[in-house]
Structures are given as C-alpha cells and as structure tokens.
C-alpha cells in the first residue's frame, strides 16, 4: 500500500519525536537506528526514506527537544521555571527533560550540524529567558551575562545531580542548593 505525502510527513514527525525522547534518555551512542525505528513502530529499512543519516535525525531531534523546552518555558514565570527545572521530577525524567542537560556532552563530540543546532537552541532559550521591557535596569550585556550564568548554573546542576546514584542524598542536595542560589539571584518582580 502506498503511503500518502501527508502520512509520510506524519511518520517522519513521529520518528523525530521518538528519537528526541530516546536520545535524551540514552544519549546519541546509546540508540541504534534499528532500536529507534522499532520504538517508533517502523522497520529499520524505512529509516533512509526519511533521513540521509543518523546525524541528520540527531539534529532534527535536538531541535524538537529545544522547541518543547521553549514551549514549557513560555507557560510559567522564571521563578517557576527554575523551580521545576531543578526538581527531582525533572532530574529523573530524562526522556521528557532538557535537551541541553541530557545531550550537551554528546553534542560536543558530534558534527558541526549538530553543534549548530545546539547553538541555535541555546540562543533561543537565552532569548526566552530575557525579562520583559523595563524589568531590569541592567545593560544588555549585563543582562545577557546574568542569563547565561543562570542557564549554565541550572544545566550544570542537573547534570551533576544526574551523575549521582538515584538514591544519593548528594543528588538532591545539588538541586536544592543550586535552585536556592539561582532563585536568590533573580531580580525582584516589579509591581506596576
């Protein structure tokens, strides 16, 4: 039976979404094309009808993960975002969690296409974390530096916590300490 163009596009999107979750759970090297296609409900042979290479899929899956993170960020204020980001639930939910925390280490060893996807995703996240007009009296450079510092602090905290055994008190301590420090660094909300 011949697949329609619309169905082929839906199949491709499903493969990308499945890959995004699996890559965040297991890393790029922890997922074979055969495993990925089986998880998506397709045969291994169909992969190359959709993608030229695994690297092409890796880049699309990373972009998908970044897009999901931006959607989640848009739904809450910065304090709530940091509180959720540095939670045990987020730490333990790798597959649905932050692409940066799950895959930055892997991305650093990948082709330029994947690094470019990460650079774009990181840049978009930084932009999404900028406060509204007049929310701070910092200059543009100071504000950007503060946002970069908070993102790096949060991502690093999540990575360190995940590196500890699941039942380790240190895993929770890292999250708690960094969450408290980042929240304390946020400017107070202005009341108009």
- As a whole number of angstroms, the distance between CA 149 and CA 175 comes to 16
pLDDT digits (tens, 9 = 90+) for 6-55: 998 999 999 999 999 999 999 999 999 999 999 999 998 889 989 999 99
Residues 6+ apart with CB under 8 A from 69: 98, 99, 100, 121, 125
pLDDT digits (tens, 9 = 90+) for 109-124: 999 999 999 999 999 9
Average pLDDT over residues 76-86: 91
| Widest distance between CA atoms in the chain | 62
Q: Examine the pLDDT at 191 and tell me if it is beyond 60.
A: no
Confidence at 134, pLDDT banded by 50, 70, 90: very low
pLDDT score, position 22: 97
At the top level of CATH, which class does the domain 5-185 belong to? mainly alpha
- 73, 107 in Cβ contact below 8 A? no
Q: Determine the distance from the C-alpha atom of residue 89 to the mean position of all C-alpha atoms in its chain, rounded to a whole number.
A: 15
- 163, 188 in Cβ contact below 8 A? no
pLDDT score, position 1: 64
- As a whole number of angstroms, the distance between CA 19 and CA 10 comes to 14
pLDDT digits (tens, 9 = 90+) for 152-167: 999 999 999 999 998 8
Residues 6+ apart with CB under 8 A from 42: 11, 15
- As a whole number of angstroms, the distance between CA 16 and CA 22 comes to 10
Its pTM stands at 0.87
């Amino acid at each position: 039976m011949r697949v329609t163009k619309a169905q082929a596009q839906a199949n491709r999107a499903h493969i990308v979404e499945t890959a995004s979750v699996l890559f965040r759970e297991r890393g790029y090297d922890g997922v074979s094309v055969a495993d990925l296609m089986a998880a998506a409900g397709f045969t291994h042979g169909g992969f190359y009808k959709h993608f030229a290479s695994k690297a092409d899929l890796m880049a699309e899956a990373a972009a998908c993960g970044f897009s999901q993170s931006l959607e989640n960020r848009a739904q809450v204020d910065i304090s709530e975002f940091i509180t959720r980001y540095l939670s045990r639930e987020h730490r333990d939910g790798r597959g649905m969690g932050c692409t940066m925390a799950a895959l930055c280490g892997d991305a650093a060893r990948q082709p330029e296409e994947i690094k470019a996807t990460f650079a774009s995703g990181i840049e978009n996240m930084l932009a999404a974390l900028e406060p509204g007009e007049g929310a701070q009296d910092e200059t543009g450079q100071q504000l950007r530096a503060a946002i970069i510092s908070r993102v790096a602090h949060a991502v690093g905290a999540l990575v360190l916590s995940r590196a500890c055994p699941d039942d380790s008190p240190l895993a929770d301590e890292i999250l708690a300490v960094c969450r408290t420090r980042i929240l304390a660094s946020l400017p107070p909300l202005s009341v108009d």
